[in-house]
A and B are shown apart, each in its own frame.
Chain A
Amino acid sequence: MDSSRSQSLAPYLRDLGFPGAPPYTRGAYPSMYRSRPWTVRPLAGFGTPEDTNRRLRFLRAQGATGLSLTFDYPTLRGYDSDEPEARADAGKGGVAIDCLEDVEVLFDGVPVDEVSVSLVTCNPSMAIVLLAMYVAMAGRRGLPAGRLQGTSQNDFLMETAVTTAPSALPPAAAFRLECDTVEYGVRRLPRWNPISFVGYNLREAGATAVEELAFCLAHARAVLGEMARRGLSVDEVAPRLSFFFSAHRTFFEDIAKYRAARRLWYRMLAQELGATEPRALALRFHVQTSGVTLTAQQPMNNVVRGAYQALAAALGGAQSLHVSGHDEAFGLPTEASARLALRTQQIVQHESGVTETVDPFGGASFLERLTDEVEGRARELVGEIEARRGIVAATESGWVHQRLAASAEAYRAAVADGRLPLVGVNCFTDGDECPPEVFAQPSAAGRQAERLRRVRATRDPARVARALDALDARLAAERNAFEAVREAAEAGATLREIHERFRARYGRWTLPLA
């Protein structure tokens, strides 16, 4: 290659390069979907573990290639199903889990060493318990933990900024538990991503695409910093970090966001943090099509929204995908709408031809400019968060909440006054307003209470007490709590009993919202 030719190629190689090679703008892997299509990973969870187990089997039979589990409100916030505060919400919005036996029932018949499973546990104080129970469940099946493959959603921003609760752990405490799970995962679970930075839910709470990306990257920097303090290098930790992004109504901006995410990640890790391991340098992510863009008016229109958002995820090189049900505005998906959402991404994957090429927008001037812009603005915002002493301090001060609420309000106002067209809502409003059949979530409190009674009656109370005290001692000594949580779960401690030790140690925090 003569020097003038190589000079003209320099900007291309610097900013785009080739898929699977620095700066990874064009994809995490060289041949992308041509050798391995994205994982078709529908989200499921409601009622008791038996109820959700049936839905998991249904989804696998319908062609799902991965699984993703949601948990009910009491589980996410550390209540057992039979407590007075939990009764009404038990089994709502996800599956009710109270103890190790529940996890065994939930995954009965699912080959957890072959199927990758995403545990959408949201909050670190819950993620550590669920992953510990998952590892213990595998142990009872005779499977070594090293064979488990999947992802834990384990994000302190979910616990302290994105979702609300009667009482949350303070941000620093939630971040500490998050890092305990990450550390355990990096050291002991070679096929598990012990954290997924939750951009999707930030976006659902109101964040813009740039905020979604910047908050996730600032958070990832904080985790890498804490892991370095614990003696783990960037090259050891970064390959195990995964991301979860939204596919919103902003088709091109979201494609640009995925491309910018990979490039910015590469540049941060290679140029600022000194990473060299290729697996550390290529950002990998799951996508969910946006629930908040789906309308109650003319709900069948949402099928179309899900389809183009799924296409954006594919064009941006997602590693796995969930399409939200068209009945999202009203409740959890029925079996029929869950299947239609699954079929939607199967049509995109198997019929559209999108898997036959890699980064087809690469080089298109509009998309490249948009990618540059998203990257530049996200980098600037990461800098602002760093100037606020990092993402944990920015959450403690309420700055993160203010950003989310302000962006949410700007979006709402733009729809309300018609600046942002929303078909069926502020334009083209004539049409079938017939609401869909709404999924009736089965109540779980009664059935869970029965199992809890049996578990409490048959366990060894002294062993449970010893395990919980040992957990508390680990928390007090600021030592990694994961193994102690696993031992407590194996002894038969319930989610609440474990969670109570976190609450007692760290206190309660109120989200600074309004």
Chain B
Amino acid sequence: MRAAADRPACVKALVAILGLDSHWRGAVAVVRTLRELGAEVLYLGNQFPEGIAEAALQETADLVCLSTLSGSHGELLPEVMRALEARGVRPIVLVGGAIPPSDVPALRALGVADVFGPGRPLEELRAWVTRRDRVGRDLT
């Protein structure tokens, strides 16, 4: 992986832990990986849907990465997507954590661009660290 200093940040990313989930190991690993890939990263800790959308608006984030291992993704992610919609911001939303494979189609249908369920290598984040729109078209 190239160090952040090797090239300018091409993507501004927010990383947050969804709701009251308490696991930070994955989210911190995502922060580290995104920085190594050259992204500018803000780590927001635990956030609720409105806070995530507001931060995405204020920070003009290209990428919003949400970590959840609590099992509340089915209830909170629709709220996140609605809150983003209400503010008219359209970042790429990635979700990672303990997401059962059977839940992935529903999350994709909501507009979540990619799901990093258990076992997905973080190196695959590389694909998202270029400026893209929410359907994955390269804007760089």
* Chain A residues engaging chain B, CB cutoff 8 angstroms: 73-74, 76-77, 79, 85-89, 92-93, 163-166, 204-206, 292, 295-297, 329-332, 405, 408-409, 412, 416, 425, 435, 438, 441, 510-511, 513-514
B122 near A: Cβ within 8 Å? Answer: yes
Q: Is the CB of A513 within 8 A of B100?
A: no
Number of A-B contacts (CB under 8 A): 103
Surface stretch bound by A, among B70-78, B82-90, B128-136 = B70-78
A408 touches B29 (CB 8 A): yes
The answer to whether B121 and A416 have CB atoms under 8 Å apart is: yes
Question: A89's contact among B19, B45, B102, by CB below 8 Å, is which?
Answer: B19
Q: A92-B70, A332-B71 are in contact. Are A412 and B122 (CB under 8 A)?
A: yes
Q: Determine how close the nearest CB of chain A comes to the CB of B104; give it in whole angstroms.
A: 10
Whether B21 contacts A73 by the Cβ 8 Å rule is: yes
CB neighbours (8 Å) of B47 from chain A are 166
Q: Which residue of A lies closest to B73 (CB)?
A: A88
A205-B24, A435-B102 known; 11 new pairs, CB 8 Å cut-off, are: A73-B22, A89-B72, A92-B71, A164-B22, A204-B25, A330-B100, A408-B29, A412-B122, A438-B100, A511-B24, A513-B43
Sample (25) of A-B pairs whose CB atoms are under 8 Å apart: A73-B20, A73-B70, A73-B72, A76-B22, A85-B20, A86-B20, A87-B75, A89-B19, A89-B72, A163-B23, A165-B22, A166-B47, A204-B25, A295-B118, A329-B98, A331-B71, A331-B98, A331-B100, A405-B32, A408-B28, A408-B29, A409-B32, A425-B119, A514-B32, A514-B41
> Could you say which residues of chain A place their CB within 8 Å of the CB of B92?
none
Q: How far is the CA of A163 from the CA of B24 in the complex (A)?
A: 7
Chain B, 39-83, CB within 8 A of any chain A CB:
41, 43, 45-48, 70-72, 75-76
Size band of the B side of the interface?
A: 35 or more
CB pair B29 A93 closer than 8 Å: no
A85, B100: Cβ atoms closer than 8 Å: no
Q: Measured between alpha carbons, how far is A511 from B22 in the docked complex, in Å?
A: 11
- Chain B binding surface SS class: mixed
In the complex, chain A residues whose CB is within 8 Å of the CB of B121: 416
Q: Which residues of A contact B31 (CB under 8 A)?
A: 514
Q: CB-CB < 8 A to B32: which residues of A? A: 405, 409, 514
B22 touches A166 (CB 8 A): no
Please name the 3 residue pairs, one residue from A and one from B, whose CB atoms are nearest each other, closest first: A296-B118, A296-B119, A163-B22
Looking at chain A's contact residues, is the secondary structure mostly helix, strand, loop, or mixed? loop
Q: How far is the CB of B119 from chain A (nearest CB, A)?
A: 3
Chain A positions within 8 Å of B17 at CB level: 164
Q: How far is A89 from B31 in the complex, measured between Cα atoms in Å?
A: 24
Is residue B101 within 8 Å, beta carbon to beta carbon, of the partner chain?
yes
Q: Is the CB of A329 within 8 A of B29?
A: no
**B102 proximity list for chain A (CB < 8 A):** 435, 438
Query: B72's contact among A88, A166, A329, A425, by CB below 8 Å, is which?
Result: A88
Contacts of B23 in A (CB 8 A): 163-164
CA distance A42 to B32 in the complex (A): 35
A484 to B117, CA, bound (A): 44
Question: In the complex, what residues of A have CB within 8 A of residue B98's CB?
Answer: 329-331
B81 to chain A minimum Cβ distance, whole angstroms, is 14
Residues of B with C-beta under 8 A to A89: 19-21, 70-72
The distance in angstroms between the C-alpha atoms of A277 and B57, with both chains bound, is 62
Partner of A412, one of B21, B29, B119: B29
Q: A88 near B29 (CB under 8 angstroms)?
A: no
Q: Nearest Cβ in chain A — how far from B122, in angstroms? A: 7
A329 lies within 8 A of B28 (CB): no
